[in-house]
A = this chain, B = another copy of it.
Amino acid sequence: MTTRVRIVGTGLIGTSLGIALVRAGYAVSLADPSPTAVALARDLGAGSVATPDEPPPDVVVVAAPPDVAGSVVARELADWPQAVVTDVASVKVAVLEDVRRRGADLRRYVGSHPMAGRERSGAVAARGDLFDGRAWVVVPSPESSAEATALTRELATAAGGTVRTMSPREHDAAVAVVSHVPQIASSLVAGRLRDVPDEAVALSGQGIRDVTRVAASDPQLWTQILAGNAAAVAQVLEQLHAELGSVIEALHALAEGDGLGAREILARTVAHGNAGHARIPGKHGAAPTSYDVVVVLVPDQPGELGRLLHDVGDAGVNLEDLHLEHGLGQPFGLAEISVLPAVAERLADELVARGWRLHG
């Protein structure tokens, strides 16, 4: 028996999910306030356009913007009294509270958060493999039935996600630290660049580029996300605000005198950052591995980087990570190749033998 899925909202996430589920053999119908958007999603292979007389769905996925997700979930729970309803908003407590406030049947509601986004939005940017290998957090409420939770997990797995289960509060506290607070820090650091002369901005190196990459994100979407997780984000930011205050005090003490004890505050701040950074897992969800980095000078011409990595492959070495850095004003880049320590020396030797110039 084919599982029937109704997707409400055919933006990037809804359309990508439709494509993935159709491929996985589900019967998918699509609804959206915009007839154009839903027709486009259909044309992209995300399912059929929902009709008034279609059979009732087994699962409804609400892929609406965070600030309306709760009301749409409540309406769908009422419209389809046999269906499990989930949503994909990136905040979970606010959506659950909204659904509860509307008196909906919470046994059939289970929240979701697929950790997959793109810089681009809308159905045109949709891909059936958007969720492949990404974490998909399934977020049951205390009222959610075991069957509803199981069906939501099944759907997430079918879409390609790696399922993790958390409570709404755990989820919101986690994304506050690993996503929402980094976004605000990045935006604030980048915002400081508005006021400085061109010559100062010209000294920007890889450090500030990395710190501010997510500062290019969409203000409207992020306002909804931050507003939807306001309490959890505020809590983390308050700790950060207090620590930043201590750093500023220490800097003033150093600027105006010998700053007894001030250096210890600065050193501790950087050391705490070391400790936190070391907890971020490496690829494949494994514990972070310490890789050796082989740095190679790559002429900035078509094919050169390809030739280099072809040579790496020929050497039978597996790349763990790769970062390309361009020097200011130079016609070459630095390719930083991370490999397991055991093979680093052999790789370096093989590359030199093939005529590459190493840089580190």
Q: Could you list which residues of chain A lie within 8 angstroms of chain B, going by C-beta atoms?
A: 115, 118-120, 125, 127, 129, 132-135, 137, 162, 164, 166, 170, 173-175, 177-179, 181-194, 196-205, 207-220, 222-223, 226-227, 230-231, 233-234, 236-241, 243-245, 247-248, 251-252, 254-255, 259, 262-263, 266-281, 283-285, 293, 297, 300-314, 316-319, 321-324, 326-333, 357, 359-360
Contacts and interface: CB of A to CB of B under 8 A. Distances in A.
A303 B350 CA distance: 14
Most chain B CB within 10 A, of A137, A177, A238, is at: A177
Contact of A203 (B115, B308, B318): B115
A252 B265 CA distance: 28
A279 B193 contact: yes
Given A203-B179, A302-B313, A313-B307, A324 B327 contact: no
Contacts of A331: 284
Contact of A211 (B182, B275, B297): B182
Given A191-B269, A360-B125, A248 B243 contact: no
B324 A194 contact: no
Contacts of A120: 360
Given A179-B207, A207-B214, A219-B266, 10 more contacts: A184-B247, A184-B269, A190-B273, A191-B269, A191-B272, A192-B240, A208-B280, A304-B313, A306-B308, A306-B314
B209 A211 contact: no
25 contacts: A115-B205, A127-B359, A132-B330, A133-B327, A133-B330, A174-B200, A178-B208, A184-B244, A184-B247, A185-B211, A187-B273, A216-B273, A216-B274, A216-B278, A217-B274, A219-B267, A222-B267, A227-B266, A230-B255, A241-B248, A301-B318, A303-B312, A305-B319, A306-B313, A306-B314
Nearest to A194: B276
